[in-house]
Amino acid sequence: MASHATTAPETHGHPALQHHFENMEQQREAGTLGMWVFLVTEIMFFGGMFLAYTLYRSLYPAAFASASNHLDITLGAVNTIVLIFSSFTMAMAVYFTQTGKHRPQVLCLIITLVLGLTFLGIKAKEYSDKYHDHLIPGRLIPGNPYNPVVAEHGDTDPHKLHLIEGATVKQVEMFYWIYFAMTGMHALHMIIGAGLLTYLIIFSLRLRFDPEYHSPVEVIGLYWHFVDIVWIFLFPLLYLLGRHLEHG
Amino acid sequence: MSEHIVPVRIYLTIFAVLLVGTLLTVWAAFQDFPWQLNTIVAMTIAITKATFVVLYFMHVRYSMRLVWVILTSALFWMGIMFALTFSDYWTRDWIKVGY
């Protein structure tokens, strides 16, 4: 195919085209495909934790409902909306890159990053609340082991653990292991995503992306939406599962 | 350029659907549905939201067939992981051995 390269159509002249691809479209599709293969490994990775969640929830339904009711539903819902909004601005960033609108593209990327950091800030507030209520499982934090105060019947103190009949403090600890593992891994993905967005913003400002070449924006967008989808499942599974039992 | 560009109108629609889905799932969580319906409703809403994100925000609806194959194979293998694990855990009480 060497002779073919010399009589190439003009898209071959794009500076971002690597020598082992025929044209920009093939290069872009190869990148997208590679990202999807990576996302499959991510699906299986989070899938294992969803499996653990399902198993222990089926073993300790009352404890999971009690522990879930202790989480702050307002902060969880606000974070869901923040993340959905950031997914929308990420999609718009891809759109503006595809259509060659540079300023809105950079603006959308910056908004996405700010929303991602907002999510992490709210998450940090929740983690600190759990720390003060002694709900960090095991001895993850030296000097502050898992030791929640159990509420007596009729006590409405939100900082105490309100156990539904059949639940034990030890079983609730299992919920918090899974809660911190899943939200912690999700938060780590958000931190990595924030780093990737920072890279995108810097390279966008240097005019590296155009309608012909924007695989990094597209591929990091896929990653960002995937992390959003994980949260779409985490929110009802962790925050909402026992709400209908709260006043029963 | 054969790349499909999703119009802004569709992005806005999906965004609205996701917001409505979030409010709906919070509302549904406080309703005391019979049996396991609370979980089923919550998961149905979550799967619907995720499907919209995958199809439109992630462009899978307009992507090459190979992306479909890769994605469905992932979901298929996750299904195997769940099915085999719970075919063990959830049936251990069915026969009493060693008692």
Q: What are the pLDDT tens digits along chain A (248 aa)?
A: 444 444 445 545 788 888 888 888 888 889 999 999 999 999 999 999 999 999 999 999 999 999 999 999 999 999 999 999 999 999 999 999 999 999 999 999 999 999 999 999 999 999 999 999 899 998 888 888 888 888 888 788 888 888 888 889 999 999 999 999 999 999 999 999 999 999 999 999 999 998 888 899 999 999 999 999 999 999 999 999 988 887 54
Three-state SS letters, chain A = CHHHHHCCCHHHHCCCCCCCCCCHHHHHHHHHHHHHHHHHHHHHHHHHHHHHHHHHHHHCHHHHHHHHHHCCHHHHHHHHHHHHHHHHHHHHHHHHHHCCCHHHHHHHHHHHHHHHHHHHHHHHHHHHHHHHCCCCCCCCCCCCCCCCCECCCCCCCCCCECCCCCCCHHHHHHHHHHHHHHHHHHHHHHHHHHHHHHHHHHHHHCCCCCCCCCHHHHHHHHHHHHHHHHHHHHHHHHHCCCHHHCCC
Q: How many domains does chain A have?
A: 1
Query: Per the domain annotation, does A131 fall within a domain?
Result: yes
B4, containing H or E segment? none
Query: Per the domain annotation, does A47 fall within a domain?
Result: yes
Alpha-carbon torsion (A43, A44, A48, A51), positive or negative: positive
Complex-level ipTM beyond the 0.85 threshold: yes
Tell me if A92 and B8 make a contact (CB, 8 A cut-off).
Answer: yes
Number of helical (H) and strand (E) elements in chain B, helices listed first: 3, 0
Check if A233 contacts B (Cβ < 8 Å): yes
A chain contacts of residue B39, beta-carbon cutoff 8 Å: 241
Nearest chain B residue to A76 by CA distance is: B26
Rounded CA-CA distance A43/A98 in Å is: 27
Look at residue B87 and give its three-state secondary structure: helix
Query: Per the domain annotation, does A75 fall within a domain?
Result: yes
Check if A47 contacts B (Cβ < 8 Å): yes
Which of A32, A47, A236 has its CB closest to that of B78? A47
Query: Per the domain annotation, does A35 fall within a domain?
Result: yes
Query: Per the domain annotation, does A147 fall within a domain?
Result: yes
pTM, two decimals, is 0.91
Interface of A with B in 93-112 (CB under 8 A): 95, 98-99
Query: Per the domain annotation, does A2 fall within a domain?
Result: no
Range of the domain at A134: 23-245
Query: Per the domain annotation, does A74 fall within a domain?
Result: yes
Written as one letter, the residue type at A222 is L
A chain contacts of residue B15, beta-carbon cutoff 8 Å: 84-85, 88
Query: Per the domain annotation, does A5 fall within a domain?
Result: no
The domain segmentation of chain B, as residue ranges, is 1-62, 64-93
CATH of residue A217's domain is 1.20.120.80
